[in-house]
Structure 1
């Protein structure tokens, strides 16, 4: 218990913003799942869902509110939803976002997270509109529940994968494999959340490449060493 308490204290002191954000996500999840009734929780979820109708009526509210919840479970450990929680909340926020905060500061870390969340969400809108116009997606997509931190988590996971010194490409392949293997590819187009996660990964890889280039430019140039004197 003492070791766990010390580890938690170290984590909070080194990544205070991520620790606070994780606590907020857990609080909203427990509030919606344990305090509210099923109908009330559904209203809350639909209120922050980034579907087409909400984005048209109240874009700022839903884009911000969607980042306050994660779409998963903490109790049904044998379900696919729990695996999603481990990836998004566990690896994405608690591990990768915290690491980015420690290494680059909270501003850059959360700038990447928010950029991925916003850009991936908004870039899927034209795809959905075209798919609806051609009958590739059902009309129910206009108001389907779509909320959570997964686009932002995918972005920071991709960024972190590219910044690894070892197993970089293996980690990057794992980041891409998650939406590819878990998505629905049965229709003319994959479901829009799969496309959104792949876009978020691309954004994250771009951010990682930018940070790598910036680090190389900031690295001091090697100091030339004098040639050894010849001994006759």
Structure 2
């Protein structure tokens, strides 16, 4: 015998539309039944669908990535202060060469070292005879050795500059300061000797080292820094160089440092354009 459902279960399984039942009677639609029953609350239809709730078991949303902080921030990325063979090949190779020459200068016979320094000097006499050779050779020595402040400044400044504009362009900035500041200080000496204002011994003035290139690198790097770091760096550097000039211990070299710093500042339009093309950001 076939079983038929009766009672509430049957009512729940019955169609909700006006389709006829087996006995021929039609089912009254649900809204009509609701109208016949007093006190039955009607369902309110929202004009806009409510936002679907997130699953209860859904994990926390991933946090938005923090904005990357530009270099230099030594407390966050101290390893970027030092040169590496892959990241800054020019600075790394140059530091290696300077380390070798500094060790040699410290351990070799002082007379031999003095002779090499004289042969590498960018004085007027050497610039007239072999300008290209002495301009390159003079940049292979550190005046004062590896403990010189310019040695530390060379590592930090050239590393930061090369990371921003590339090795070839950083080399151009360094050489521009080294060569132009050297010529700017030695040419007046030659003219002064020519016109009798200085003795002939001034043509053989000992002049070598990397300080002019470092000063130009500082001035150039300042153009890539944020203003809150740019101007204090320039003020401190210029103040130190002016203090050395006022001391009048080596006025020609001190003038060369200021000229090299000015050359670095004058390179700001170029280094900013290079930084934008190399890394998409003109400031550090």
Tell me how far apart the structure 1 counterparts of residues 246 and 203 of structure 2 sit (CA, whole Å): 18
1:194–1:134 distance in 2 versus 1, CA, 3 Å: farther
Q: Say if 2:77 is the partner of 1:17.
A: no
Match of 1:89 in 2: 151
What is the 5 A alignment of 1:18-37?
Answer: 18-34=91-107, 36-37=108-109
2:269 matches 1:197: no
Residue 182 (structure 1) shift: 1.6
Shift of the 138–194 alpha-carbon distance from structure 1 to 2, 3 Å rule, reads farther
> Could you tell me how far 1:200 is from its partner in structure 2?
0.6
Alpha-carbon deviation of 1:137?
A: 4.6
Q: Aligned pair 1:181/2:243, yes or no?
A: yes
Q: Is contact 1:184–1:194 with CA below 8 Å preserved after alignment?
A: no
Residue 167 of structure 2 corresponds to 106
Structure 2 unaligned spans of 5+: 1-77
What residue number does 1:225 align with? none
Check conservation: 2:83, 2:91, Cα contact below 8 A: no
1:206 to 266, 277, 281: 266
Distance 2:121 2:275 in 1: 37
Q: SS at 2:208's partner residue? A: coil
Matched ranges for 1:33-72 at <5 A: 33-34=106-107, 36-72=108-144
Structure 1-normalised TM-score? 0.76
Query: What CA distance in whole angstroms lies between the structure 2 residues aligned with 1:22 and 1:172?
Result: 24
Q: Provide the rounded CA distance (Å) in 2 between the counterparts of 1:106 and 1:216.
A: 15
Distance (whole Å) between structure 2 residues aligned to residue 61 and residue 106 of structure 1:
22
From the superposition, tell whether residues 133 and 58 of structure 1 become closer, same or farther in structure 2 (CA, over 3 Å): closer
For 1:151, the equivalent position in structure 2 comes to 212
After superposition, the Cα gap between the structure-2 partners of 1:133 and 1:107, relative to the gap in structure 1 and judged at 3 Å, is: same
Structure 1 unpaired stretches of 5+:
1-5, 75-81, 221-232
Query: Would the alpha carbon gap of residues 191 and 68 (structure 1) be closer, same or farther in structure 2, given more than 3 Å must change?
Result: same
The 1-side partners of 2:276 and 2:95 are apart by 32
Between 1 and 2, higher relative CO (CA 8 Å, sep ≥ 6) is seen in 1
Distance 1:214 1:102, change over 3 A: closer
Structure-2 separation of matches of 1:25 and 1:119: 21
Confirm or deny: 8 A CA contact 2:141 2:210 kept in the other structure.
yes
Q: Contact 1:48–1:65 (CA<8 Å) still a contact in 2?
A: yes
Tell me what 1:79 maps to. Answer: none
Supply the distance in 1 between the matched residues of 2:246 and 2:205 (Cα, whole angstroms).
16
Q: Does 1:168 align with 2:240?
A: no
C-alpha separation between the residues in 2 aligned to 1:115 and 1:202?
11
Q: Report the CA distance shift for 1:156/1:125 in structure 2 as closer, same or farther (over 3 A).
A: same
Q: CA RMSD in A?
A: 2.9
Equivalent residue pairs, number: 201
